[in-house]
Amino acid sequence: MRAITIAEPGGPEQLAWTEVPDPVVAAGEVLIQVTATAVNRADTLQRMGFYQVPPGASPYLGLECSGKIVEVGAGVSGFVPGDEVVALLTGGGYAELVAVPAGQVAPLPNGMAALDAAGLMETLSTVWSNVFMLAGLTAGQTLLVHGGSSGIGTTAIQLAHEFGARVIVTAGSAAKLQACRDLGADVAVNYREEDFVERVREVTDGRGADVILDNMGAAYLDPNVEALAPHGRLMIIGLQGGVKGEVNLNNLLRKWGTISATTVRARSSEEKAQIVAAARDAVWPLIEQGRFRVIVDRVLPVDQAAEAHRVIEDSGHIGKVVLDVAAVRGS
Ligand SMILES: NC(=O)c1ccc[n+]([C@@H]2O[C@H](COP(=O)([O-])OP(=O)(O)OC[C@H]3O[C@@H](n4cnc5c(N)ncnc54)[C@H](OP(=O)(O)O)[C@@H]3O)[C@@H](O)[C@H]2O)c1
């Protein structure tokens, strides 16, 4: 098969569409012929050599895909060759074929195009596991989402809005703030011009946000705790603002607050399967009713993965950048 390989850790120019050995399907896995995959920020870190890839993961980039099952490993039930599916991957999506544990695979949702579905599973699994499973956001509560126009943000806004929460987002431009409002954000804060802590307090009558989904890590650690409501849950999923920060624990303690930091990719296959099953139960009906969609900024052929990484690194996108593998395979 062909896959995007990294010549050596560095810039996007290191990515090349290359002939590589086919993956081998183990017991409990299925082999997917990839239709499309999508770019996640972790891919850009992995390309630069800054991401700790979990042991046993595919050497290739790509945390999600849509495609068609072409082989079923020993002991797998519920899938047969020809099934159209989506998958949460631990790696290997930027390729023509990928082997994945069957629990990380779900049927292509009715009504969703395979190119859009390519960008579904990593963001959905991250948002569902953090905002709903771990933080337990409920109707009537307030969610603050940093980076509201990101792949993660556009997913979190729609789901929180759909489940009856009030949504506050941060973003860095007027166009991105508007996109967030269009998806259901109630309050949109330009982080370049406004102090988000003050704005959160102002729009919650001083109470704060019940749940914060954070991509900034150290840079926002202390202000995020300031912005938490009593019993608030700060869910750190990204470290774009650094790994080491200071926090006033007295603020956290007085609010009975919780700080969580997790990554989906490093979870076991069993945990990933639980997340995929829960997200599927909750979100497939919404997709079928047209109440949730993947926001796709653009689709590029997979052999232009370097260009796709530049778009993500320049933050020139709203939602997901999809890589079309079928277009390059010619099928
Ligand atoms: N832990 C996990 O399992 C997991 C899984 C998936 C993703 N993530 C993390 O989630 C984050 C989003 O991922 P993605 O793939 O959706 O990335 P993405 O589309 O590239 O988005 C990155 C976002 O960061 C925002 N940003 C930059 N500086 C900011 C600031 N000072 N304040 C607020 N927002 C700021 C950007 O907003 P502007 O463009 O408006 O500046 C952009 O929306 C990343 O940090 C990623 O590593 C974690």
Binning pLDDT at 50, 70 and 90, where does residue 51 land? confident
What would the mean pLDDT of 54-78 be, rounded to a whole number? 96
* 122 C-beta closer than 6 A to ligand 1: yes
The CA distance from 87 to 118, in Å, is 8
Instruction: State in Å: Cα 313 to ligand 1 middle.
Output: 10
pLDDT in tens, 266-318: 999 999 999 999 999 999 999 999 999 999 999 999 999 999 999 999 999 99
| pLDDT reported for residue 52 | 84
Q: Quick one: 311 exposed, middle or buried, by C-beta within 10 A (0-12, 13-18, 19+)?
A: middle
CA of 123 to the centre of ligand 1 (A): 11
Task: Round to whole Å and give the CA distance between 251 and 256.
Answer: 9
Using CA positions, which residue lies closest to atom 41 of ligand 1?
172
Mean pLDDT of 15-44: 97
Does any ligand 1 atom lie closer than 6 A to the CB of residue 146?
A: yes
As a whole number, the mean pLDDT across the chain is 97
Quote the pLDDT of residue 9: 96
Q: Is 44 in the pocket of ligand 1 (CB under 6 A)?
A: no
Structure tokens at 92: 């290997």
Look at residue 331 in the predicted model and tell me its pLDDT.
Answer: 53
Ligand 1 centroid – CA 150 distance (Å): 6
d(CA 37, CA 124): 14
How many angstroms separate the CA atoms of 147 and 134, rounded? 20
Over range 225-230, report the average pLDDT.
Answer: 98
Ligand 1 atom with the smallest distance to the CA of 215 is 45
Cβ–Cβ < 8 Å for 29, 76: yes
Nearest CA owner, ligand 1 atom 48: 237
Cβ neighbors of 238 (< 8 A, separation 6 or more) are 41, 147, 152, 214, 215, 216, 217
Domain 2-120+268-324 classified CATH 3.90.180.10? yes
Tokens of 132: 């709903």
Nearest CA to 106 out of 264, 284, 263 is that of 284
Evaluate: CB of 312 within 6 angstroms of ligand 1.
yes
Q: Which residue has the tokens 């052999």?
A: 303
Atom of ligand 1 nearest to the CA of 240: 45
Q: How far is the CA of 47 from the centre of ligand 1 (A)?
A: 17
With a 6 Å cutoff on the Cβ, whether 169 touches ligand 1 is: no
pLDDT at 231: 98
30 touches 14 (CB < 8 A): no
Taking the centre of ligand 1 as the mean of its atom positions, its distance from the CA of residue 147, in whole angstroms, is: 5
Q: Report the top-level CATH class of 123-261.
A: alpha beta
Alpha helices in the chain (DSSP H): 41-48, 114-117, 121-127, 151-162, 174-183, 196-203, 221-227, 249-254, 269-288, 305-313, 326-329
Nearest CA to ligand 1 atom 46: 238
Of 110-119, 287-296, 298-307, 322-331, the one with minimum mean pLDDT is 322-331
Closest ligand 1 atom to the C-alpha of 241?
A: 31
- Selection from 30, 96, 39 nearest residue 64 by Cα: 39
R_g of the chain, CA atoms, integer Å: 19
Tell me, in angstroms, the distance from the centre of ligand 1 to residue 279's CA.
Answer: 21
Give yes or no for a contact between 44 and 11, defined as CB atoms under 8 angstroms apart.
no
Domain extent listing, the chain: 2-120+268-324, 123-261
Whole-structure pTM value: 0.97
Angle (deg, nearest 10), helices 151-162 and 269-288: 60
pLDDT at 176: 98
From the CA of 151, give the closest atom in ligand 1. Answer: 16
Ligand 1, residues 41, 89, 216: which to mutate, most atoms within 8 A of Cβ? 41
Q: Is 236 helix (H, G, I), strand (E, B) or coil?
A: strand
- Looking at the DSSP bridge assignments, the partners of residue 187 are 168
Rounded CA gap, 233 and 252, in Å?
Answer: 10
Burial 50-88 (b: 16+ CB within 10 A, else e): ebeeeeeebebbbbbbbbbbeebbeebeebeeebebbbb
Q: Is residue 141 scored above 70 in pLDDT?
A: yes
Residue at token pair 């939602």: 319
